[in-house]
Structure 1
Amino acid sequence: MQHTIFLAGAAGAIGRRLIPLLTGAGHRVIGTTRSPDRADALEAAGVRPVIVDVFDGQALTRAVREAAPSIIIHQLTDLSAGLDQDPEAARRANARLRREGTANLVTAALAAGTRRMVTQSIAWAYAPGATPYREEDPLDITAQGARGMTVNEGIVPLEHATLFTPGLEGIVLRYGQLYGPGTWSEKPEGASPLHVDAAAHAAFIAVERGAPGAYNIADDGGEADNAKAVSALGWSPGFRLEAVA
């Protein structure tokens, strides 16, 4: 079935790998960017670009209403401050985007009559305990400092808004540490690594598959158990764009 999809964060690392999957399946894609410089590249990729700031709730709602999507895919992050240059500022900005940006997207979705939303989260926010972590395990809400900012000021409100808003079918994809084209690393790193193509493919699958809830999206053998995504979504951590026929 072909859908109209509002892709928030279309110019990001995952968004760029997700676009050819969506357009190749015949979906109509409206993609957001804050940068006019990236609009032409989105258009060349078959996406109708929308320049909008997710923190401007009224403008975002207007954009989503105009697009009238059946599905919103939320791939927004904000690490523009640079984890190497100013890690505290980067974490604070990213947490704010997850908290306020997600709330604005949910408000816009309800205003536009959109009933399904797929949201990017992380697979390393679980409270310390026995591994591998499964989706029903608690998040680390007692964390302090930088981790507390990431989890409590970003991930917890992001997931709550996506999963517990009445009238919204919310899918949360808890991504592992990304590697591959356009990411921080070309090789697997971290406790639950994940190739960016496999991350994009999970979002593509979740357009039509999967009951509302959270899904760990990570390579086999890491701290985050991916069995639910494999069985319920039919997702494979080995997916690569180059393998698409």
Structure 2
Amino acid sequence: MAVFGVIGCGYVGSDVAVHLKYAGHQLIGTTRSPERMPALQEVVHEAHQLDLTDAAADFTFLEQLDGLLISVAPTQQSEGYNSVFASGLRNLTRALRCRRSTRNLHITLISSAGVYGDQQGNGVNEDSPCDTSNPVNALLASAEDLLRNIDRPDTEICILRLGGIYGPGRDMVAMIRRAAGQQVPKNGNAIPAWSSILDITRGVHFAFQQGLEGTYNLVDDMQLSRRELSTLICDREGLPPVLWGHSEPAGARMMNARVSNDKIKAAGFSFQSPSMLVPESV
């Protein structure tokens, strides 16, 4: 049995916590919200209220850990991203670097395949440069670098870049059905990346078990444009097409790339949900 911590028990973090708890591990979880503490106490063995942006935050629980997932989600305002991914992650990495314990610690950071930005629909992999012209992408890339630079021999760092997340409570196919026949002011030719919550959770567990280090795209196999995906769904169900625009709204963060998942497959990971259009394999 390992002691595993989850910093940020939101949609992804809570699912990972439940999965690892039932796999037999001891779970420590955190949330910023005092209102969420009772629910979190039902999920993990030990719950902490933690605000990463607080310079006086208590990180002593890190000393107990064999594994750690960092899955923090700011508000959509730029200052939310800045506080979490700049000052918050800086406080956390300082605490990780200064751990007194010398027990081996595997850390997984949840990041975003959106850091590749607008690549005009071309293929990208983990060696492709990030589009740091966008301020959110720049913050995410900087957060990744903060973790990589912990530089302790007893600490392994794995970064998982996710696409748009689908799963229970996030039924993307149903959302597209509801948009049938309507105008959507986004670029229909843009190619997003997608990730199933099932495979995200399995991927975090796999990274911990295998001691994965480095950066991996944890995205499914689907590489369709928004227009292609919605047309396929609407045609299949006899619905009128979604009426996409040809550009993004001014100032919007742009993602348009065919993101490869070959690296994580080569490491031995297999996807149970290759696409939101394919039933999950057991």
Query: How high is the TM-score relative to the length of structure 1?
Result: 0.81
Q: What does 1:187-206 align with in structure 2 at a 5 Å threshold?
A: 191-206=192-207
Structure 2 CA distance for aligned equivalents of residues 212 and 124 of structure 1: 20
Shift of 1:185: 4.1
Counting only pairs closer than 5 Å after superposition, residues 75-114 of structure 1 correspond to structure 2 as 75-79=71-75, 83=76, 90-112=77-99, 113=101
Distance in 1, Cα, partners of 2:200 & 2:67: 18
Range that drifts further, 24-33 or 56-65: 56-65
Is residue 226 of structure 1 aligned with residue 261 of structure 2? Answer: yes
Q: Amino acid of the residue matched to residue 130 of structure 2?
A: L
1:45 is displaced (CA, Å) by 2.1
Matched to 1:150, the amino acid is: V
Change (3 A) 1:176 1:231: same
Over 3 Å off, 4+ runs = 127-130, 182-190, 242-245
Q: Distance in 2 between matches of 1:186 and 1:41?
A: 29
**How far apart, in 2, do the equivalents of 1:229 and 1:45 lie?**
28
Distance (whole Å) between structure 2 residues aligned to residue 103 and residue 197 of structure 1: 29
Write the deviation string for residues 44-96 of structure 1: whole angstroms up to 9, x where unpaired. 2243110111112332323434xx112221001112xxx4xxxxxx2331243
Q: Name the CA shift for 1:23/1:163 in 2 (closer, same or farther; >3 Å).
A: same
Gaps of 5+ in 1: 84-89
- Paired with 2:169 and 2:56, the residues of 1 have a C-alpha distance of 31
Taking the aligned partners of 1:128 and 1:105, their CA distance within structure 2 comes to 30
Cα distance in 2 for partners of 1:96, 1:8 equals 15
The answer as to whether partners of 2:4 and 2:68 remain within 8 angstroms in 1 is yes
Q: Which moved more, 1:121-130 or 1:44-53?
A: 121-130
Q: TM-score when scaled to structure 2?
A: 0.71
| Alpha-carbon distance, 1:182 to partner | 4.1
Distance in 2, Cα, partners of 1:209 & 1:172: 14
- Report if the CA contact (8 A) 1:218-1:237 is conserved: no
Amino acid at match of 1:124: G
Contact residue 220 and residue 237 of structure 1 kept, 8 A: no
Structure 1: how far apart are the matches of 2:175 and 2:259? 14
Q: Any conservation in 2 of the 1:163–1:170 contact (CA below 8 Å)?
A: yes
**1 CA distance for matches of 2:23 and 2:220?**
25
Q: Is 1:69 the equivalent of 2:65?
A: yes
Aligned to 1:27: 25
Match in the other structure for 1:126? 116
Give the CA deviation at 1:106.
1.7
- Equivalent residue in structure 2 for 1:178, among 149, 157, 165: 165
Q: Which has the higher strand share?
A: 2
Q: RMSD over aligned Cα, in angstroms?
A: 2.7
Find the aligned partners of 2:175 and 2:109 in 1 and give their Cα distance: 23
Q: Is 1:166 aligned to residue 159 of structure 2?
A: no
Secondary structure, aligned partner of 2:168: coil
Which residue of structure 2 lines up, in the alignment, with residue 86 of structure 1?
none
> Does the residue aligned with 2:35 lie in a helix, a strand or coil?
helix
In the alignment, the residues of structure 2 paired with residue 180 and residue 103 of structure 1 have an alpha-carbon distance, to the nearest angstrom, of: 31
CA distance in 2, matches of 1:162, 1:36: 27
Q: Tell me which residue corresponds to 1:151.
A: 137
Q: In the alignment, is residue 236 of structure 1 matched against residue 271 of structure 2?
A: yes
Aligned to 2:165, the other structure's residue is in SS state strand
Q: Which residue of 2 aligns with 1:139?
A: 130
**Cα drift, residue 115 of structure 1:** 3.1
Contact 2:8 2:70 (8 Å CA) reproduced: yes
Aligned with 1:207: secondary structure?
helix
Name structure 2 gaps, 5 residues minimum: 177-190, 224-257
How many residue pairs match? The answer is 225
Match of 1:5 in 2: 4
- For the structure 1 residues 170 and 70, does the alpha-carbon distance in structure 2 shift closer, same or farther, using more than 3 Å as the test? same
Structure 1 CA distance for aligned equivalents of residues 262 and 95 of structure 2: 32
Q: 1:139 to 1:106 in 2, by over 3 A?
A: same
Q: Which structure has the larger Rg over C-alpha atoms?
A: 2
Q: Which amino acid aligns with 2:141?
A: V
